[in-house]
């Protein structure tokens, strides 16, 4: 009898969960979701057969511009209608930070900007946002050049003709080295020592955290939290990263207050450490709107979030740039010609870098054609209608903007969107719809580091192309493809690096 009762209640629970969470809602079309997995199995995301940017294009073809989509437990309304996308991003009072950011990043870094809204978001943003404006960043040009030179020296020391299959790892090392110095005044030494991308302990630890993060993103939070607590790989990686974060804070605390005061308008670590609360328990008792400064826990969460956001995205974009250079010798040659113009010397100044217009077009085209991030998300704060499609949305709904699909959507580009063609940004597609290309998202929660990312990419590529040519290492090793962590990474990059 007890067994029947038990089975009855389990059955009831199953039916409740299925109807509450895993059933198509209302008139919006979509793939009927599986219990627990949502659309993960049907779309090939779980098996790795497809990455999310491919899935959005597929579902757009099947269901049109608005459809429902389950990323595991999380239910989204995906919006491809470009005018509705613009509406969402420009109405911050109706569409705030997506729940996926708030919930999923909270597992790793609950007190960081990315997973907070309202007064806490403003309090944290005040210590970081002003530092990432272009005017503050350009003074770091020599850090970017020196880091790039270090990587070039490593490559120079390799046997001529060797096919480099570790481009992604080397780009990660480079961006960590640069970001460590720019944001934390700290040499992470990711390009020192043995020339093996896989052996740097910090790069490896961060890569482990990212791959675990990708896995847990689909699961309910409780499962993810327990998994992280039990996973020895995560605990090891997290301990390594924490060790680095503590060293950085100790180094900053050893500076004089005068030095910190001078640097806090340009250095993230100086700004964060200056903001440390003198009396944490007293601040903790205040209402959020009255709180000042950051607690130690908040400081460490911000540092980890910035470390991840600061290197992973930009290094992925750089790896895609190198891949596209090797596949498009005409474009590479044209970039080199631009770099040689008015070049009385090899030196790169901010003014010279600014003058490389075709390089800007190339970077835009890589971000368009090989998007680093698949999309972004917003939470509906009050019931609303999307004006163009007339879609009814309700408070609490999650909207997903598939930026990677919009940038490849032939409707929004005059020159074939399937063609890799940087010149489009000089001519026919110069005045594209603002939402057709959103590599850094948009609106009030757009990427905080976009000026830095663009500047780093431009200086690194200019420096590299002054000295080397990237050559396709052959269709087997340089096969492209995608693998997904937080970003969409090129799966197979294999290039030779020819020095001039
Ligand atoms: C090519 C490089 C990069 C790409 C493609 C990229 C892309 C993005 C995207 C798509 C978002 C979500 C925006 C939205 O929802 O509208 C975002 C947010 C963010 N990014 Fe980046 N990013 C890059 C580099 C960086 C760098 C270098 C930093 C570090 C300074 C950074 C820090 C952040 C932060 C803090 C947020 C959260 C902002 C918020 O929640 O308000 N990103 N990024």
Interval 416-447: pLDDT, tens: 999 999 999 999 999 999 999 999 999 999 99
Task: Report which ligand 1 atom has the smallest distance to the Cα of 441.
Answer: 16
Task: Residue 274: give the domain boundaries.
Answer: 2-499
Average pLDDT, the chain: 93
Give yes or no for residue 315 CB within 6 A of ligand 1: no
* Tokens read off for 70: 């389950």
- What is the tally of structural domains in the chain? 1
447 in a labelled binding site: yes
**Residue of minimum CA distance from atom 42 in ligand 1:** 449
Task: Report which ligand 1 atom has the smallest distance to the Cα of 115.
Answer: 40
CATH code: domain of residue 404: 1.10.630.10
Cα 446 to ligand 1 centre (Å): 7
* Tokens read off for 13: 């629970």
- Per-residue pLDDT tens for 288-338? 999 999 999 999 999 999 999 999 999 999 999 999 999 999 999 999 999
Mean pLDDT by 10 residues, the chain (500 residues): 77 72 90 93 93 96 97 94 98 96 91 95 94 94 97 95 95 96 94 69 90 85 90 95 96 94 92 94 95 95 94 96 98 96 79 96 98 97 97 97 98 97 97 98 97 98 97 95 92 95
- Per-residue pLDDT tens for 197-228? 456 889 899 989 988 988 888 888 888 989 99
Cα 311 to ligand 1 centre (Å): 11
Give yes or no for residue 317 CB within 6 A of ligand 1: yes
């Amino acid at each position: 009898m007890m067994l029947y009762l038990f089975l009855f209640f389990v059955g009831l629970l199953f039916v409740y969960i299925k109807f509450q969470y895993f059933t198509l809602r209302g008139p919006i079309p979509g793939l009927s979701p599986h219990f627990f997995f949502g659309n993960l199995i049907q779309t090939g995301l779980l098996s790795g057969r497809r990455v999310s940017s491919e899935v959005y294009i597929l579902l757009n073809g099947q269901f049109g511009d608005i459809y429902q989509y389950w990323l595991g437990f999380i239910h989204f309304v995906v919006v491809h209608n470009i005018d509705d996308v613009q509406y969402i991003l420009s109405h911050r009072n109706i569409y705030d930070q997506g729940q996926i950011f708030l919930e999923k990043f909270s597992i790793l870094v609950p007190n960081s900007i990315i997973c907070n809204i309202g007064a806490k978001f403003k309090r944290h943003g005040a210590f970081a946002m002003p530092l990432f404006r272009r005017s503050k960043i350009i003074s770091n040009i020599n850090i970017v050049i020196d880091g790039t030179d270090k990587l070039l020296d490593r490559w120079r020391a390799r046997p001529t003709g060797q096919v480099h299959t570790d481009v992604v790892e080397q780009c990660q090392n480079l961006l960590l080295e640069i970001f460590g110095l720019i944001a934390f005044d700290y040499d992470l030494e990711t390009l020192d020592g043995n020339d093996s991308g896989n052996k740097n302990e910090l790069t490896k630890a961060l890569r482990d955290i990212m791959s675990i993060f990708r896995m847990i993103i689909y699961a309910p939070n409780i499962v993810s939290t327990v998994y992280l607590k039990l996973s020895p790989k995560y605990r090891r990686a997290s301990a390594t990263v924490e060790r680095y974060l503590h060293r950085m804070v100790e180094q900053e605390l050893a500076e004089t207050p005068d030095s910190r005061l001078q640097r806090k308008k340009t250095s993230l670590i100086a700004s964060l450490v200056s903001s440390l609360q003198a009396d944490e328990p007293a601040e903790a008792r205040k209402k959020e709107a009255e709180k000042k400064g950051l607690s130690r826990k908040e400081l460490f969460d911000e540092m980890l979030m910035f470390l991840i956001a600061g290197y992973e995205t930009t290094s992925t974009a750089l790896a895609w740039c190198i891949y596209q250079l090797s596949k498009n010798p005409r474009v590479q040659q044209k970039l080199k010609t631009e770099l040689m113009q008015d070049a009385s010397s090899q030196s790169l100044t901010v003014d010279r870098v600014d003058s490389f217009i075709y390089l800007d077009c190339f970077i835009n085209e890589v971000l368009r054609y090989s998007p680093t991030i698949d999309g972004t998300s917003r939470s509906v704060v009050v019931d609303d209608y999307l004006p163009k499609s007339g879609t009814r949305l309700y408070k609490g709904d999650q909207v997903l903007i598939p930026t990677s699909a919009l940038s490849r959507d032939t409707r929004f580009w005059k020159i074939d969107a399937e063609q890799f063609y940087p010149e489009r940004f000089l001519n026919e597609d110069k005045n594209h719809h603002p939402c057709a290309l959103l590599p850094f998202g948009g609106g009030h929660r757009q990427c905080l580091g976009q000026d830095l990312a663009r500047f780093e990419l431009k200086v690194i590529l200019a420096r590299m192309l002054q000295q080397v040519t990237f050559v396709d290492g052959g269709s087997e090793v340089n096969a492209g493809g995608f693998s997904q962590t937080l970003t969409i990474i090129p799966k197979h990059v294999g290039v030779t690096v020819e020095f001039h």
